[in-house]
Structure 1
C-alpha cells in the first residue's frame, strides 16, 4: 500500500479512475440537460409573468392570466425557497408514495434539476425583460404587435444577451449541486467518489481528486461561456461597406482598410 499522499492519489486514480470519469460524465449530462430544459421553462414562465394587463380584454381572459401568473409565482417561490436535496427526496419518493409512479433515479434527477433551474431562470428572464427600455415595448405595441410578438421580435433578442452570464452561472451551479442527487442513488461524481472512498477509507485523497475534477469541469464551462458571450457581442468595430461611393460613384474604388495594399500597388 502507498505511504505518501500523492502515492495514494496515484493509486486511487489507477484503481477508480474509470468510475470517477463515468460519474463526472453523469454529472455533466445532468447539469447540461437540466440547464437547457430549465432555461426553456424559465423563458416561458418569465414571458407569462410579464404579460401586461390589457384593459380591452374580457373579464374571463383577465382572470385566466391572473390565475396563471399566481400559479407560476407560487412555483417560482416554492422551488427557490427549498433546497434541491429536499426537492429530490420529495419528487423521487413522493411519486411512488402518492401516485404509485416508479421513476428511475436518473429521470428523477433530470426532473428535479430542470424544474429547480426553471424557477431561478424565470426570475432571471423577468429581470432581463424589465431591463429593456420601455419605449421599445411601446413602439412595438404602436405598430400593432401583441405581447408574444413583442417578446419574440423586439425584447427577447436583447434580453437574452443580458442574461447570458446568469445562464452560465446556473450551469456552473448545477454542475456542483447535482452532488445532492446521491440521496436518491444517482451515480454522479460525488456518489462514485463516496463509494470509492469507502473501500480503503482514504476520504481525503479521493475527495481531493473529486475536488480537482469539479474544478476542471466548472472552469472549462466558465471559459466556454465567456467565449460564447464574446461571439454574441460580435466584432468591436464594423465595416458596413467595402467601397467609398464618394470617390467613385460606380462603387469600384476599394476603401483602404488597416493599411492594406491595393491591387494597383498603392496604399
Structure 2
C-alpha cells in the first residue's frame, strides 16, 4: 500500500477552510428551503385547487429529477436565458433551496395533517384567523412531530452539498480534489474530506437529538 498522509498535512488547513463554505451554503439553503417548504405545504393543504396543483407539480418535478441536473441548469442554463452570469455560490444556494423546499414541504404537510382536526375546528369556532391559527397553533405542534425528519433532511443536504464541486465552488470536496491533483495522490485528501463530512453529520445528529430532547421535556 502506497499511502502517506504526511504528504497532505501542509494542505489540511486549506481543505479545512472549505468547511466554512460548506456550512454557509448548507445553512442558508436550509433556512430558505424551510421557508419555501412551509409555503408549498400550505399550498398543498389549501382548499384552492390551483394552489394544490402548483404545490404537487413543483414537488413532482424537483423530487423526480437529479439535484445535480437542477444545479447545472441554474448555473449553466439560466444565464443563456437571462443574459447574465450567476455566481457559483448563488447557483448552489438557489438549487439546494428549491430542491430542499420540495422535500421539506412533504414533511411539513404530513406533520400538519397529523394534528387533530378538532384543534382547527375549535380555532375556527373561536374566530381565530387562518394565518394566526397556523402560526400559533398548528405549525408549532407540527414542528415538534417532524423535527427528526427535518434533521434528516438537513443532514442529507450537508452531504449532497459536495456536488457543488462540479461548478467550481471551493468547498471541502473541491479543495480536497485540488490537493489530490497537486500531489497526484487522491486517496489521502479524499479520505480526509470524508472524515470532515462524517464529523459534520455526527455533530448535526447529536444536535438534533439534543434539541428533540429539550422539546420533549418542555411538553
Structure 2 length-normalised TM: 0.94
Structure 1 segments of 4 or more deviating over 4 A?
A: none
Aligned 8 A contact 2:34 2:100 in 1? yes
* Residue 68 of structure 1: how far off its partner (Å): 2.6
Aligned 8 A contact 1:9 1:209 in 2? no
Question: Aligned residue for 1:109?
Answer: 92
Question: Aligned residue for 2:16?
Answer: 21
Query: What is the count of residue pairs matched by the alignment?
Result: 219
Q: Gaps spanning 5+ residues in structure 1: where? A: 54-64, 237-267
* Residue 121 of structure 1: how far off its partner (Å): 0.6
| CA root-mean-square deviation | 1.6
- Structure number with greater Rg is 1
| 1:22-48 deviation digits (Å, cap 9, x = unpaired) | 112211111111111111110121123
Question: Aligned residue for 1:62?
Answer: none
* Residue 235 of structure 1: how far off its partner (Å): 5.3
Q: Distance in 1 between matches of 2:18 and 2:86?
A: 20
Q: 2:43 aligns with which of 30, 37, 48?
A: 48
Question: Aligned residue for 1:176?
Answer: 159
Structure 1 length-normalised TM: 0.78
SS at match of 1:101: coil
Q: Distance in 2 between matches of 1:194 and 1:167?
A: 30
Question: Aligned residue for 1:83?
Answer: 66
Q: Gaps spanning 5+ residues in structure 2: where? A: none
Does 2:201 match 1:218?
A: yes
Q: Distance in 2 between matches of 1:141 and 1:235?
A: 27
Q: Distance in 2 between matches of 1:184 and 1:66?
A: 38
Q: Distance in 2 between matches of 1:72 and 1:219?
A: 33
Question: Aligned residue for 1:93?
Answer: 76
Aligned 8 A contact 2:41 2:55 in 1? no
Q: 1:10 aligns with which of 6, 13, 18?
A: 6
Question: Aligned residue for 1:258?
Answer: none
* Structure with greater helix share of residues: 2
Q: Distance in 2 between matches of 1:152 and 1:235?
A: 19
* Residue 214 of structure 1: how far off its partner (Å): 0.7
Does 2:45 match 1:31?
A: no
Q: Distance in 1 between matches of 2:84 and 2:98?
A: 18
Q: 2:143 aligns with which of 153, 160, 172?
A: 160
* Residue 207 of structure 1: how far off its partner (Å): 1.3
Aligned 8 A contact 1:47 1:151 in 2? no
* Residue 163 of structure 1: how far off its partner (Å): 1.0
Q: 2:53 aligns with which of 70, 73, 97?
A: 70
Q: Distance in 2 between matches of 1:184 and 1:119?
A: 22
